[in-house]
Structure 1
């Protein structure tokens, strides 16, 4: 598997991955999550230009030709941590460690600092999955100002209809 910053012309494929990755939420009566609009082309371009979007490719192909991303991750620095804004893998490629590979690469690219994210606590491929790969749920008292702001924004979007939490993984975790 190859993980790298995607080219600008590959960014539309990331939006398609996000739409497909949202579909399983329908089975959990979370249609509004499934229907949520992916990051805009402008947002993805900003992440790409900053080097903070990673795409996973299964087939190397000659150069970039013939390759299509199967997963992606967006990250940004928040309160001295590498905050995972979004990680999505196409459901056709689920259970192949693609998400973990993207997260591990973001950890390397972000530097020797903790990883953070916010997620749904009761969705099997969210908090329970992240706990298996070294993240721990942060008690309210441990949320940094940046994570509190992110959580407030999520609440304003209505995501708190379902239990959510902040999580953190210390640098160098290997499991």
Structure 2
């Protein structure tokens, strides 16, 4: 439960969903996931330089279906099996790369993103992979600093793999300026 103080000083109590679990995405979930990504992107409206992302493209249904078929597309659901957030990833070499993670704006701040990332790390560990990687914004609090708190480290330019360098270049070509982005890595330690 999170207590917030609005401008009038009267506390608001915001309670999160109950019984959140992570499961593989199903075909029937895909359109809801696209709506969740659009909802999550509304947070960018608050940052003038990135407000265009609130109306930008979301991950296509085809990509969701392909990652679902690969077994690397997971959804967080409430106790009624309603999607609240998702994490899409792909296996590239010895890494699990997070392509997208989104939590519906009404359900942000309750640890759903952390649960999704923990699930992805556990999945990568079970598969014997070496790391989990992602690209994100350097300075936005719910991006790079969030992942650092979860154990990811920002990779300097010289430490980038050719795949991550190419991915950052591709993002730059699609309007995500390279100087605002970074690649991050979490090494998996096997027991």
Matches within 5 A, 1:1-175: 1-29=20-48, 30-59=50-79, 61=80, 67-110=81-124, 111-112=127-128, 113-160=130-177, 163-172=180-189
Question: 5+ unaligned residues in a row in structure 1: which ranges?
Answer: 62-66
Paired residues of 2:171 and 2:178 also in contact (CA < 8 A): no
- Structure 1 residues 4-48: Cα deviation after superposition (integer angstroms, max 9, x where no partner): 112101110000000000001011011221112111111111111
Distance 2:189 2:77 in 1: 24
**How big is the shift at 1:162?**
5.9
**How big is the shift at 1:58?**
2.0
CA RMSD in angstroms, aligned pairs only? 1.5
**How big is the shift at 1:78?**
2.4
Question: 5+ unaligned residues in a row in structure 2: which ranges?
Answer: 1-19
Distance 1:131 1:7 in 2: 30
Distance 2:178 2:151 in 1: 26
- Report the 3-state secondary structure (helix = DSSP H, G, I; strand = E; otherwise coil) of the residue aligned with 1:159: coil
Distance 1:160 1:10 in 2: 31
Paired residues of 2:73 and 2:87 also in contact (CA < 8 A): yes
**How big is the shift at 1:143?**
0.5
Higher-Rg member (1/2): 2
Distance 1:71 1:93 in 2: 8
TM-score by length of structure 1 reads: 0.90
- Structure 1 residues 132-175: Cα deviation after superposition (integer angstroms, max 9, x where no partner): 110111011111111011111101001017611001111149xx
TM-score by length of structure 2 reads: 0.83
Distance 1:138 1:35 in 2: 29
